[in-house]
Amino acid sequence: MKSTTQMLKYISNRSIRQRIRELVQPGSIDIIIDQEINSILADTLNKKLKEEQTAILQRDYYERSNNPLYRNGYKQFSIPGLAGKITLRRPVVRKGSLQLPFLHTLKKAGRFVINLLAIRFWTAGASTRATADAINDIFGSSISPSDISAASDCLEPAILAWEKRPIPADILYLFLDATYLPVCRHKLKHSDNPGFTKKQALLSAIGIDSSGKTYVLGFLLGDRENLDSWNAILELLLSKGLKKDSLRLVISDEHKAIIEAVSSKLQAPHQYCLIHKQRNVLLRIPYHDKKEVLKDFNAVYWADSKEISLLARGRFEAKWSARYPKATEIAFSNFHNFTMFFNEPKHCWKTLRSSNRLERFNKEIKRRVKPAGAIHSEKELSKILWAVSIRQEESWASRAAFKPKHISKMEVA
């Protein structure tokens, strides 16, 4: 039988082991480490504040002096830290105030951390309201969505430089497309016309160089997607350094305004998007024949060569023209412009058959605009386009449009 001392020792050891097990549960260790980091930082910073107070008062604790300022304890305040909010003790005095340079530096650093995190959250796709809520939850601050918007204004020099950057000289493939965004039109002064939200066309252009690297080349916001707006964005691209002589192919949907603008401004071969044609064909096919028609359609436009494509076209027309004449007509209208990719190196065909690369990018822009509800200013749109473009170019850099191979102007597959 154990003695009373042995039993007490056994019970205390078991209690300690149980407490340790509770502390090392998943997630608990991270919390403990964060708390210790903040505690160490707080002790160091509080010591520095006390030393600065002593230096300003020019006397140690309990030391007499002619200085009328006397220590009067501390007031707590918080600043953002690497592991969450850090609570510090600000020294105070009776009948006056202390100007502590180190305290000013700490608060300035705290605002810098908040602004930095706010910009990171915002550029990653969070709305200003969601960003403000997240920052306030982390640091116990009280910033508003408008503060987040103001903090992102520091990006303006970078955005302006990005918008004016020259276009690389070796852009071989140019993608053009438009998407519609909700734009808020505010009420004019001295006018009875109330504000309203209107869908406006955002014209986008991206390019691929000879190494397969993709670049965002430019944007233009206009009331409509028409010939004037497409002429304007092509003139903008040419002014930024786009070389007409280097272009091997322009890829877009079959929009009349794009076709006319490309013909007049660039005089470059024009590939129309095959995915749009595929959808238009399948819309006119009943469900029970869709799979078979799609298989025969792909045999034409996803063939290994233009010669094989022409043979597959003949088989498609012989098989389906009598049953689905309108679908067959759509499948092969402007056949030449839908098969321009066959003239390019074969390793590029997958990218050049459609405008999917740019359409996916436009969807990302719309996703980024959605939390805001509508665009309220050109400055706001510029910041969003810059943020989305920078992240998208980083993503494209990790996966080239095609394997890096040298493509000369005269090379033909």
Query: Is a pLDDT exceeding 90 seen at residue 46?
Result: no
Sequence-separated (6 or more) residues with CB below 8 Å from residue 35: 83
Q: Which DSSP helix (H) or strand (E) runs through 212?
A: none
State yes or no: pLDDT of 281 exceeds 90: yes
Contact yes or no for 176/262 (Cβ under 8 A): yes
How many angstroms separate the most distant Cα atoms in the chain?
109
Q: How far, in Å, CA of 342 to CA of 10, rounded?
A: 82
Identify the domain boundary among 101, 128, 156: 156
Identify whether residues 275 and 127 lie together within a single domain.
Answer: no
Pair 355, 228 in one domain: yes
Strands 249-252 and 171-185: parallel
Number of domains in the chain: 2
In a domain, 115, yes or no: yes
- Residues 73 and 109 occupy one common structural domain: yes
Kindly state whether residues 213 and 125 are assigned to the same domain: no
Distance CA 134, CA 172 (A): 43
Residue 368 tokens read as: 């980024």
Domain extent at residue 107: 38-156
Q: Are residues 205 and 338 in the same domain?
A: yes
pLDDT of residue 408: 46
Question: Considering only CA atoms, which of 267, 227, 272 is closest in space to residue 253?
Answer: 272
Torsion sign across C-alpha atoms 233, 239, 243, 244 = positive
Domain end marker among 94, 128, 156: 156
pLDDT exceeds 50 at position 412: no
Q: How far is the C-alpha of 252 from the C-alpha of 205, rounded, in Å?
A: 10
Q: Is the pLDDT of residue 27 over 80?
A: no
Let me know if residue 136 belongs to a domain: yes
- 407 domain-assigned: no
pLDDT of residue 48: 74
Q: What pLDDT does 140 receive?
A: 62
For residue 30, give the 3-state DSSP assignment.
Answer: helix
Q: Is residue 173 part of a domain?
A: yes
The answer on 189 and 151 residing in a single domain is no
What was the pLDDT predicted at 403? 65
Q: Is residue 276 part of a domain?
A: yes
More confident call, 102 vs 26: 102
Q: Confirm whether 163 is domain-assigned.
A: no
**CA dist 341 → 172, 181, 282, 350, 377 (Å):** 13, 31, 22, 9, 39
Asked whether residue 390 falls in the same domain as residue 291, the answer is yes
Provide the pLDDT confidence category of residue 372 given band limits of 50, 70 and 90: confident
pLDDT (0 to 100) of residue 60:
74
Q: Is residue 12 one of the residues assigned to a domain?
A: no
3-state secondary structure of 100: coil
Same domain, 221 and 140: no
36 — pLDDT class (breaks 50, 70, 90): low
Same domain? 175 vs 133: no
Taken in order 63, 66, 67, 72, is the CA torsion positive or negative? positive
Average pLDDT, the chain: 80
Query: What share of the chain in percent tops pLDDT 90?
Result: 41
Is the same domain home to 249 and 297? yes
Q: What is the pLDDT of residue 337?
A: 95
Instruction: Identify the pLDDT of residue 394.
Output: 87
pLDDT at 83 over 90: no
Ranking 157-171, 200-214, 255-269, 361-375 by mean pLDDT, the lowest is 361-375
Reference 84, options 130, 33, 120; nearest CA is 33
292 pLDDT higher than 50? yes
| Entry pTM | 0.70
Residue 33 belongs to some domain of the structure: no
Asked if 183 and 375 touch (Cβ cutoff 8 Å), the reply is yes
Higher pLDDT, 214 or 142: 214
Q: How confident is the model at residue 69 (pLDDT cuts 50, 70, 90)?
A: confident
Please indicate, yes or no, whether residues 141 and 80 belong to a single structural domain of this protein.
yes
Do 207 and 352 fall into the same domain?
Answer: yes
